[in-house]
Amino acid sequence: MPMDEKAFHGIWGTEGAKAPADETGTRVLDPKAFESQWLVEPKKSAGDEPVDIGQGRAEGVQFLRGVPVAGAYADKAAAALNAAASPFISTPGMSNAPTFSERMTENERRIKIGADKYAEDHPVAAGVEQFAGGTAAMAPLAATAAGARALGLTGQLWQRAVTGGATGAGLSGADALARSGGDIKEAGKGASIGAGVGVLSPFVARVIGAGVNKVMAPAADRATNYLLQRAEDLGIPIRPSQSSTSPFINKMDQMVPKIPGSGMGAAIDEQRTGFNRAVARTFGGDATRITPDVMAAAKKRLGQEFDAVEKGTVVRFDRPLAGKLSGILSDASSVLEPDQIAPIAKRVTEISNLVKNGEFDGRSFNNMLKKDAPLSRLQKSTDPNVKFYAGQIRTALQDALERSAPADLAQRYNLARYQYRNMKTIEPLAEKAATGDISPTLLLNEVRKANPNFAYGSGGDIADIAQIGQRFMKQPPDSGTPLGTKVLDTFVHGAPALAGAALGGGAAYGGGFDPMTDVGLGLGGLMATAAMARGAGRVMLRPQMIENALTRSQVAAPAAANRLMQINRPEEQRQ
């Protein structure tokens, strides 16, 4: 049964009792007052309401704010532009007041609030956008010769530091003066930061470039430098990583091209075709592949050249020729058996019988040296000794022609002999080259066999080409070597691991894994491997690109100084 108040007091003896005095000073808060004070948002005063100027407009303002000096007036410029456009097009988030002055004033207020809010919510994006704006503003200046010098992009290191520092101080000082409303102290601080960035940038580029060069470990010995110069002269591009003395860089050069997406395929093809063309030019050809057609065309052309010069020249049977033939017979008789020397002696006798009045007529001389003539057949003997002395006889006859012919014909004949010898030198390699690519490593052996005095500098261009192939284009062994495995592991496992961690972290943050996430992880790993290989490939092709890029980045020095100033500027002065 419910108890009324009178019954309650009767039971407990509290009728007429008063509450004790408040000795603690505690104030009893009325519920309605509590609700109005703590649970209801206070009304915003005019001008404090949230402003949404749109993300695109906020990003554009950040871009403009990054422009040195002029960026201080970016909000005003954006406000004026939108105020002018409002009567003609829709400008969401902007004022629609009746006059330009009213619209611009209101727009400037809204843009400042909205852009500042965007920068507060997206500090990294805003910083990047401002940096991009400052860099873009400097680009046209850097494109001119005077502007490049002023920004410290050209000249010697000390000149770049001095001019870069002076320009940086001027721009950053003026920028700080404009953004701070004329505060001289802020201007001085900006000038100091700008000067520091401008002076240090060239030195940072040089130090990093030197570090990369140290890692690449380029060879500096005289022989290597000679071959590098010859390769350039002959049109054979050599990658810096191929001339490195570092086994790791050499292995990188070998393994990175095997990774899809490395971008080194074009460089390798260019080198291969350059090497083939250089070889072809040694026998008068001009081809990127040494195919049977190329060889046949060279042989036909050289044969026609021999015929033309030999038939058109009366060759003297002079004392040097007589002495040379006599010496060949004498030397052969001292080392060969009678049955071996017989065909050699017979050839010399028949050659002597063709002499009339101390001369060979051109046609007779040409017939002696033609392809199927007895001397030519003797040069194809299976007996290496007979083959050697037959070659000596041919050389003596050809030397005699060069002494007898007019200067122009002698020069043509000498060149044809040189080209023919080179063609015969690479003949065995051309037979093995299914794709028409001459093996750089096998060429050296053939050149040595064709040039007994190779060690003493004999051989001409083809000797240099062979040494270039051996020094720079010979691949290190790659059959499971620890170093090769380590290089591949770096790209095949290292890069995907980083990509997988990033994608996996994002998937976990977004609520777990699913099939699409698995696909994303796989593609991310492949793309990371390719990107890492491509970056390594570009550095191996042009290690100086890092220092060059850092040198060109001097154009971003004013923007970098501006960002440093923004970070250190009082909150109310930031833009």
Give the per-residue pLDDT at 500.
47
CB atoms within 10 A of CB 472: 23
Short-list 403, 437, 398, CA closest to 416: 398
How far, in Å, are 37, 247, 264, 350, 426 from residue 259 at the CA level?
68, 19, 9, 65, 32
Query: Do 325 and 350 meet the contact criterion of CB atoms below 8 Å apart?
Result: no
Q: What angle do CA 496, 501, 505 make, to 5 degrees?
A: 145
Give the per-residue pLDDT at 493.
45
Measured CA to CA, the distance from residue 146 to residue 546 in angstroms comes to 24
Give the per-residue pLDDT at 14.
61
Q: What angle do CA 211, 212, 214 make, to 5 degrees?
A: 65
The pTM (predicted TM-score) of the whole model is 0.60
Measured CA to CA, the distance from residue 181 to residue 199 in angstroms comes to 27
**Helices and strands of the chain, counted as H and E runs:** 26, 2
Measured CA to CA, the distance from residue 545 to residue 431 in angstroms comes to 41
Give the per-residue pLDDT at 481.
55
Give the per-residue pLDDT at 531.
54
Residue-level pLDDT, tens digit, the chain, 575 residues? 566 666 666 666 666 656 555 555 555 556 556 566 555 555 555 455 567 788 888 888 888 888 888 888 888 898 898 889 888 887 788 888 889 988 889 888 988 888 888 888 888 888 888 878 877 877 787 778 887 777 777 778 788 788 878 887 888 888 888 887 888 888 888 788 878 877 887 787 777 766 666 666 677 788 989 999 999 999 999 888 788 777 777 777 776 766 666 667 788 899 999 999 999 999 999 999 999 999 999 999 999 999 999 999 999 999 999 999 999 999 998 888 888 899 999 999 999 999 999 999 999 999 999 888 999 999 888 998 999 999 999 999 999 999 999 999 999 999 999 999 999 999 999 999 989 999 998 999 999 998 888 888 888 999 999 999 998 888 766 545 554 455 445 544 444 444 444 444 444 444 444 554 444 444 454 455 555 555 555 555 555 555 555 555 556 666 666 666 666 555 554 55
Short-list 76, 71, 78, 199, CA closest to 135: 71
Query: Do 61 and 132 meet the contact criterion of CB atoms below 8 Å apart?
Result: no
Give the per-residue pLDDT at 446.
93
